Amino acid sequence: MENKAVIEIKELYKSFGAVEVLKDFNLNLFEGENLVLMGKSGSGKSVMIKCLVGLMDFDRGSIKVLGKDISKMKQNELDEIRTDIGFLFQGSALYDSMTVRENLEFPLRRHRKNSERKTEELVKEALENVGLQQTIDLMPAELSGGMQRRIALARALILKPKIIIYDEPTTGLDPITAKEIILLMMNIQKKYATSSIIITHDVDCARVISNRMILLLDGKNYAEGTFNELAASGDPKIKAFFK
């Protein structure tokens, strides 16, 4: 599993006024790995992923994505590297003024010079991957929460990214749909050999999908290991995550 690191975060600090959200946070994501990040609300997980994709500036430290330091990138270089990162938002974040087809075409038209036929093929393939071919001409508002999440996953995958970041992929879904999403994530990982960071509070999701886990507490790495290692820990703070 210990391949080369596709994401390296070193000594990351981020504060909002006097409140330090991330304090000396470190993370390595290796090629083909599913890394689960767990932490209490307000522990800095969302801030970390926003720093990682360049949506937020950080105070100190370094973030390297595919070997490139993102803090030294120009806007066009950052846009380019973002095409190698798929992002599944907690609320799906589908463009609600566009149909499912237009949502999927949106990144393709901007970053790939494909013919109309090729674009159509790629859209259909992405929808097939998530089992929702029949929704192609529907608007996001006409879909259920689980379907929206799957379409968002199809959109995140359409540029064939090397890395996928899942922000609480099962939150707000019923247990059956949550399981479907987890299976889908595993299938995608197998099919495209992506590396993933999964932020979740869902212990079942973490158990099934993780190769390695990091527990985040007060903006710092508190513990790191496989699911079984951490679940067997006697530390009450670690135990609290698995209750």
Partner 1 sequence: MKILSSYQSGLSSFFLEIGEMGKFTGRYFRELFSRPFEFREFLKQCYQMGNKSLLLVSVTGFILGLVFTLQSRPTLMEFGAVSWMPSMISISIVREIGPVIIALICAGRIGSSIGAELGSMRVTEQIDAMEVSGTNPFKFLVVTRILSATCMLPILVIVGDFVALIGSAIIENIKGDVSFTLYFNQVFAALEFTDLLPATVKTFFFGFAIGLVGCFKGYNSKKGTAGVGKASNSAVVFTSMLLFVLDFIAVFITDIFYN
Binding site for partner 1 (CB under 8 A): 50, 53-55, 75, 79-80, 82-83, 85, 87, 89-91, 93-97, 106-107, 110-111, 155, 159
150 touches 72 (CB < 8 A): no
As measured in angstroms, the least distance from the Cβ of 225 to partner 1 is 29
Query: What's the min distance (Å) between Cβ of 212 and partner 1?
Result: 24
User: In this complex, which beta carbon is closest to partner 1, that of residue 59 or of residue 80?
Assistant: 80
- Give 97-103's long-range contacts (Cβ < 8 A, gap of 24+): 98/139, 98/140, 99/136, 99/137, 99/138, 99/139, 100/127, 100/132, 100/135, 100/136, 100/137, 100/138, 100/139, 100/140, 100/143, 100/151, 101/136, 101/137, 103/140, 103/151, 103/155
Cβ proximity to partner 1, 39 vs 54, nearer residue = 54
Pick the closer one to partner 1 by CB: 93 or 139.
93
Residue type at 26? N
Comparison of 126 and 215: residue with beta carbon closer to partner 1: 126
Nearer to partner 1, 166 or 241 (CB): 166
End-to-end CA, the chain: 28
- The answer to whether residues 35 and 198 touch, using CB atoms and an 8 Å cutoff, is yes
Alpha-helix residue ranges (DSSP H) falling in 83-144: 100-111, 116-129
Residue 230 CB, shortest distance to partner 1, in Å, is: 29
Q: Which two tokens stand for residue 151?
A: 């379409």
